Amino acid sequence: MDSLILMDNEVHQGFETLAIHAGQEPDPTTGAVVPPIYQVSTYKQDGIGGLRGGYEYSRSANPTRTALEVCLAEVEGGTRGLAFASGLAAEDTLLRTVCKPGDHVIIPDDAYGGTYRLFAKVAEPWGVAFDPVPLGDVDAVRAAVRPETKLIWVETPTNPLLGVADIAALAAVAHDAGALLVVDNTFASPYLQRPLTLGADVVVHSTTKYIGGHSDVVGGALIVADADLGERLTYHQNAMGAVAGPFDAWLTLRGIKTLGVRMDRHCSNAEKVVEMLTRHPAVREVLYPGLPEHPGHEVAAKQMRKFGGMVSFRMKSEEAAVAVCERTRLFILGESLGGVESLIEHPGRMTHASAAGSPLEVPADLVRLSVGIEDIDDLLRDLEQALA
Ligand SMILES: Cc1ncc(COP(=O)(O)O)c(C=O)c1O
């Protein structure tokens, strides 16, 4: 099957080279240098079962999606990549492949609200118990493990409080317990952090974010190191059917090509925004793993190339936080993150409203920025006027 053919790693080693070429050989028929959008549901068979290139029906496999899946596997250092209709579709497929009723999962006490909702409103009624635990505290994670724990689910950095978890240490805890370590790598992207190389078993992405990078497509991905797990997930991907369509796969693949250069700019802009916010009298606290006083700074410096484009900060009241969100002119008030354009939001009332009243409820005075790649002076001016 084409999705198992990875690159010749003697020629293709560097991140950007893989991002631009992995899974994307020029089209053998036309020479087109970009994989075409195979907008097709079914494929002619040369006699019953005589498949050309392994394709029979686009839920099972589609050449544009294959190109994306190979590229995702390569940039994360895995053996198998799988592309889904959304990040949550990827999460749900993983959960229902690895867990069954009676199992237990450890989740972060700070995570994307939709991930929490999946565990609380879908997985738990199905019979999978879960415990939110502060993942920065490895002993607390070890203490929360039960005989029926199947997954330790990590976000690092977390959404929206930018907490950091030590991937290698948690991989050891998971493996001692016979569980898998899952890392949601959406905030870092594979350019900044490659969890499989640190011992994680599964990487999850909302490719909607930095990987797609242009706020024009919703998608998700799973990448695994172990070939057998890859086979089981591929079976469930087809059996459950929440696959990425060809055009979405093509847009995502187009986004990946520039991930490295975009991330460099996201990071350098974010560092300057953090510098300004930490000095601003209206701001109570800035949350960014690049700050030396951040409790996860050392771990982040060890496992990340740079500290990312997401910045959260606390104002002195909820009203002040809401006012800043409504006063920016360049930072667009909106959910999501990771696109080229800067976004601002109030997690308590927007992305994390579904966690209200739960252990994952976020502070009401919190503001989250997705720092884009616009001119930094324009971004700083906009924030200054919104904070004034
Ligand atoms: C960290 C994280 N994981 C997963 C998701 C879910 O992804 P999607 O919205 O593509 O379903 C999101 C969405 O915001 C997210 O921020």
197, 226, 256 - which closes a domain: 256
Cα of 49 vs centre of ligand 1, distance in Å, is 38
| Whether residue 388 has pLDDT greater than 50 | yes
| Whether residue 22 has pLDDT greater than 90 | yes
- Structural domain of 297: 260-387
Of 86, 92, 107, 115, the one to substitute when testing ligand 1's pocket (max ligand atoms within 8 A of C-beta) is 115
Q: What CATH number does residue 377 fall under?
A: 3.90.1150.10
pLDDT band at 53 (very low <50, low <70, confident <90, very high): confident
| Whether residue 2 has pLDDT greater than 50 | no
Residues 248 and 112 occupy one common structural domain: yes
| Whether residue 132 has pLDDT greater than 50 | yes
Cα of 149 vs centre of ligand 1, distance in Å, is 23
184 is catalytic: yes
| Whether residue 27 has pLDDT greater than 70 | yes
Cα of 88 vs centre of ligand 1, distance in Å, is 6
pLDDT (0 to 100) of residue 354 = 86
Residues 220 and 288 occupy one common structural domain: no
Asked if the structure places residue 288 within a domain, the reply is yes
Report the number of distinct structural domains present in the chain: 2
Whether 382 lines ligand 1, by a CB cut-off of 6 Å, is no
Average pLDDT, the chain: 95
Whether 84 lines ligand 1, by a CB cut-off of 6 Å, is no
Given 142, 209, 262, 368, the catalytic residue: 209
| Whether residue 4 has pLDDT greater than 50 | no
pLDDT band at 52 (very low <50, low <70, confident <90, very high): confident
What number is the average pLDDT over the span 32-55? 93
Q: What is the pLDDT of residues 192-231, one digit of tens each?
A: 999 999 999 999 999 999 999 999 999 999 999 999 999 9
316 is catalytic: no
Q: What is the pLDDT of residues 159-191, one digit of tens each?
A: 999 999 999 999 999 999 999 999 999 999 999
SS3 readout for the chain? CHHHCCCCCCCCCCHHHHHHHCCCCCCCCCCCCCCCCCCCCECCCCCCCCCCCCCCECCCCCHHHHHHHHHHHHHHCCCEEEEECCHHHHHHHHHHHHCCCCCEEEEECCCCHHHHHHHHHHHHHHCCEEEEECCCCHHHHHHHCCCCEEEEEEECCCCCCCCCCCHHHHHHHHHHCCCEEEEECCCCHHHHCCHHHHCCCEEEEECCCCCCCCCCCCCEEEEECCHHHHHHHHHHHHHHCCECCHHHHHHHHHHHCCHHHHHHHHHHHHHHHHHHHHHCCCEEEEECCCCCCCCCHHHHHHHCCCCCCEEEEEECCHHHHHHHHHHCCCCEECCCCCCCCCEEECCCCCCCHHHCCCCCCCCCCEEEEECCCCCHHHHHHHHHHHHC
Given 92, 109, 166, 184, the catalytic residue: 184
Residues 36 and 161 occupy one common structural domain: yes
pLDDT (0 to 100) of residue 365 = 98
pTM: 0.96
| Whether residue 8 has pLDDT greater than 70 | no
Whether 86 lines ligand 1, by a CB cut-off of 6 Å, is yes
